[in-house]
Amino acid sequence: MPPAQIPFRNVLVIANPIAGRGRGASMAHEVERALRTCGARCELHLTTGRGDARERASRLGPDVDLVVSIGGDGTLSEVLHGLPRHDMMVGVLPMGTANVLSLDLKLPRDVPGFMALCASGRAQLVDTASVNGDMLSFLVTGIGFDAAVVRAMERRRRGPISKFDWVRAGLGTFFTWSAPRLELEVDGSRVPGDFGQVLVSNIVHYAGFDVLSPDRKLDDGLFEVYAFEGRSKARFLAHALRGAISRFPSRSVSMRRGKHVVVRSDVPAPFQIDGDYCGETPLELTVGSNPFRILVP
């Protein structure tokens, strides 16, 4: 059977070689061969560390018409952050631990499925937001307990991580965590309440679980802002139980949509962006006006 025709002629593939428990490199070479078989010119770049994917994407040549990210959400985040052109088509072959965006978009996880995406050329616009001026979020920014878990994980991380590693980090953090009092402002209006956790999201699958509002739109220029009432451990357990059996928002978790979000706290509170620990409050998030184009089924 002849190879399917694809509408792309010059492709840059950026891959994390250790993604997928070490299968990232072999999968990247397989994608490279498939693209060349379809007649595309292809450059493969295997990343060597944090920041490398962003740096390579920033040097995008003028003739490239498709950039492919092979790895987890972190690799994709770096690629999007580095791209100098928002009108660039981006393909994703998910190989990380959570692969949150791929769950939302129902992206295939094998090379034949990925090549079918390339053949269709169909795209979904995806909003991104800037955080504190120089960081990018396209999934969810969390302020509070989840960020403390991410921080703990990064401190103990040695190579690839599993979902069990996340559970262990979560339990360890829970017993030592003291929730700050978070102040929340959305589009210039203060949100009243006593909050111990805030999520600012553009997705449905938080941490890989289908728990957030399904009526979000990826390209409406707004993010959903979830404010979790209460700061006690008992209230955190109640929120976790709610997430296990249903979804948010709920009676104790409000949801608003906005373009500009500010979070302050009585003491410095950690925040995470798309699964990476990135600092402490105050935090200011602004949804951009130029969404990216992601290949979808």
pLDDT tens profile 106-157 = 999 999 999 999 999 999 999 999 999 989 999 999 999 999 998 988 777 6
* pLDDT reported for residue 153: 83
Site of tokens 């840059």: 12
Predicted TM-score of the model (pTM):
0.91
Measured distance between the N- and C-terminal CA atoms of the chain, rounded to whole angstroms: 22
Confidence (pLDDT) at 208: 81
Q: What is the mean pLDDT of residues 189-209?
A: 94
Q: Taking a C-beta distance cutoff of 8 angstroms, is the pair 65, 43 a contact? A: no
Residue pLDDT, tens place only, 251-281 = 999 999 999 999 999 999 999 999 899 999 9
Indicate the DSSP class of residue 206: E
The rounded distance, in Å, linking the Cα atoms of 230 and 14 is 42
Q: Hunting for tokens 């990476």 — which residue is that?
A: 276
For the chain, what is the radius of gyration of the CA atoms?
19
* Mean residue pLDDT across the chain: 92
Strand partners, 258: 223
Architecture of the structural domain at 135-289: Sandwich (2.60)
Strand partners, 229: 195
Note whether 81 and 52 are within 8 A (CB). Answer: no
Give the pair of three-digit tokens for residue 174: 């829970």
pLDDT at residue 2 tops 50? no
Q: pLDDT at residue 170 above 80? A: no
pLDDT at position 1 is 40
Place of tokens 């289908």: 210
Using the predicted structure, report yes or no on whether residue 169 has a pLDDT greater than 90: no
Mind listing the pLDDT tens digit for each residue in 29-83?
999 999 999 999 999 999 999 899 999 999 998 999 999 999 999 999 999 999 9
Strand partners, 92: 69
pLDDT of residue 157: 66
What was the pLDDT predicted at 51?
93
Q: For residue 17, which amino acid is it?
A: P
Distance CA 11, CA 65 (A): 6
May I ask the CATH architecture of the domain 10-121?
3-Layer(aba) Sandwich (3.40)
Size of the chain, expressed as the number of residues it contains? 297
- Which amino acid is present at 6? I
Instruction: Read off the pLDDT of residues 83-106 as tens digits, 9 standing for 90 and up.
Output: 998 889 999 999 977 789 999 999
**CB–CB of 24/36 below 8 Å?**
no
Residue 89 Cα distances to 6, 62, 68, 85, 225, angstroms: 13, 13, 9, 9, 28
Position of tokens 């929120």?
Answer: 239
> Quick one: which of 81, 115, 43 has its CA closest to 297?
115
Q: How far is CA 145 from CA 156, 231, 240, 244, in A?
A: 17, 10, 11, 17
What average pLDDT score do residues 233-249 get? 89
More confidently predicted of 265 and 240? 265
Domain boundaries, the chain: 10-121, 135-289
Q: What's the confidence (pLDDT) of residue 243? A: 87
